[in-house]
Structure 1
Amino acid sequence: MELLEAEEVKLVRIVSEYVEAYDFEVYDIVGTILWFREHRIVMWTTIGLYLLGIYFGQKWMKNRPPFKLTFPLFFWNLGLALFSIICTLRGIPELLYLLSKPDGMYQAACVGPPHNFATSFWGLMIVLSKIVELGDTAFIILRKQKLIALHWFHHAATLLICWIGYEYYETGGRFMFINLFVHSFMYSYYAFKALGVKISKNVSQALTTLQIAQLAYGVYVASSILYFWAQGRPCRMHFETVSFSGSIIAIVLVLFIRFYKQSYTARDKIKMK
């Protein structure tokens, strides 16, 4: 894998037009990227252990009563909700700033600078958080709830996309912060639900709709990058990442639409009958 060119890692440390980086957000970006590139086995091992944990965890819980885990689940979701909010506030200003410029999609998806240490730092935190979020599945297994394919595939695939995207330090990684924006609402919803707070099913339906919209936009971003290439415009992205992540996002989008139909459309039909 080629090293990053110098101009691609020149970041703005202090006041920029969209965000100010704090001292703790300034880190060795090139060194961290190289570590990720040299240790991809960590990502594959994590995903492998995750899938094995699902299989053996369900077998272990088969003849055992479910755990309640009310307060651990609440604090788990609360922590992820707060993390998602912070990531959104620190990372999304750069994306919004670039999208607001002329030819905004090209600027945000394909151009390296302008870039900020704050955006880079929280982008790294997002990648690491995808390992932490695998713990969502542990709660489902221990509480003996139904584990659908959408759940575990989505978690494993997201970790894969984010890890490889950081290895290449893809400019399109800026769009990851949209995912954290959605998670801000999603994990807040789960936190209240863990405490037994009665929430209208319309809220969960709205959250699923928001997730579908996010995934559809992800497919649009990948398609836009392919279009820029077809026009012969330079784009600091790699075909492996764009094609791979675009395909996975499209698969997850189909699964979410299918889940939406099964959960809400079918339910509405039953009510009408």
Structure 2
Amino acid sequence: MAFLDRISKFYDWMLTKGDPRVQNWPLMATPGPILTIVLFYLIAIRQGPKIMDGQKVMGLKMFKLCYNVGLVLLSAYMFYEFLVTSILAGYSYICQPVDYSTDPLALRMANVCWWYFFSKIIELVDTLFLILQKRSVSFLHSYHHSTMIVNWWLGVKYIAGGQSWFLAMLNTFVHVIMYSYYGLSALGPSVQKYLWWKKYLTMLQLSQFFAVVIHTGVNMTQTDCDFPQGFNYAVFLYAISLIVLFANFFQKSYCNNKEKSR
């Protein structure tokens, strides 16, 4: 009981350390709702293919098209907000502490961070499409989608802005291109034959993770920078894990196939 009591006190203490500006924003009071979402997501990955076994593959052409267009627009909006707000606020690429004030630009940055977090929940629909179309859900796919929700709940809860803005800005730019690709792909074989650039999309995804490692690594050397080093270490290691997984995907998808064709 003493152990559980200590855990409870630590949990309560951690919540008190959150950014008071976001306390009453949707899904931000406690981690309960997003942990529940992640749990049901993982259950759906495991049970969904079993439920679809014997069922017809769903086309979902128009729904997928509308969904991807919506995410292109949302990603473009977030990229604009991250870029413009960071410029207006004079953000540094070397050391950028979090502005916890109620200054309009600080709140604007916190707001787009929340939208970025919420977009990661919306993007779980990517996996639903795979399941309904009876396609396999890779470890890379499920790992990336499930962890980003938790990562960015923590990001908004404790560091809405600061160094984390760079990662999100890059990712929203990549997602404008990525969901444009998916939207075009949803139009069917007549359009898919022109989508020769998927390989370069993967290369762009890899490039963003390398950029995040460099950006975070530089900040980790700034011992006088008022940004939590624990979050820097977490972002650094997470980006490396994605580099490893995406590089493995790239090799299997493009390099191995090329070797087999020789």
Query: What percent identity do the matched residue pairs reach?
Result: 25
Query: Are 1:106 and 2:106 an aligned pair?
Result: no
Q: Map 1:1-273; keep pairs closer than 5 Å.
A: 1=14, 3=17, 29-32=21-24, 36=28, 38-95=29-86, 104-107=92-95, 109-110=96-97, 112=99, 115-170=105-160, 171-175=162-166, 176-196=168-188, 197-200=191-194, 202-229=196-223, 233-239=224-230, 241-271=231-261, 273=262
**Aligned structure 1 segments of 4 or more residues deviating by more than 6 angstroms:** none
SS in 2 for 1:105: coil
* Aligned-CA RMSD value: 2.5
Q: How many residues align?
A: 241
Contact 1:133-1:155 at 8 Å conserved across structures: yes
Contact 1:92-1:178 at 8 Å conserved across structures: no
Give the TM-score taking structure 2 as reference length. 0.83
* 1:146-188: CA deviation from partner (whole Å, max 9, x where unpaired): 2211111110111111111111124122121211110000001
Q: Cα distance 1:4–1:258, how it changes in 2: closer, same or farther (>3 A)?
A: closer
Moved more, 163-172 or 45-54: 163-172
Contact 2:27-2:33 at 8 Å conserved across structures: no
SS in 1 for 2:197: helix
Q: Cα distance 1:111–1:224, how it changes in 2: closer, same or farther (>3 A)?
A: farther
1:165 & 1:258 partners in 2: Cα distance? Answer: 27
Contact 1:130-1:159 at 8 Å conserved across structures: yes
2:119 & 2:254 partners in 1: Cα distance? Answer: 30
1:235 & 1:203 partners in 2: Cα distance? Answer: 41
Give the TM-score taking structure 1 as reference length. 0.79
Q: Cα distance 1:61–1:30, how it changes in 2: closer, same or farther (>3 A)?
A: closer
In structure 2, the gaps of 5 or more residues are: 1-13
Q: Cα distance 1:200–1:257, how it changes in 2: closer, same or farther (>3 A)?
A: farther
1:154 & 1:199 partners in 2: Cα distance? Answer: 28
Contact 1:81-1:183 at 8 Å conserved across structures: yes
Deviation at 1:268, TM superposition (A): 2.2
Q: Cα distance 1:206–1:148, how it changes in 2: closer, same or farther (>3 A)?
A: same
Deviation at 1:206, TM superposition (A): 1.0
Deviation at 1:117, TM superposition (A): 3.3
In structure 1, the gaps of 5 or more residues are: 6-27
Deviation at 1:39, TM superposition (A): 1.0
Q: Cα distance 1:52–1:30, how it changes in 2: closer, same or farther (>3 A)?
A: closer
1:34 & 1:60 partners in 2: Cα distance? Answer: 32
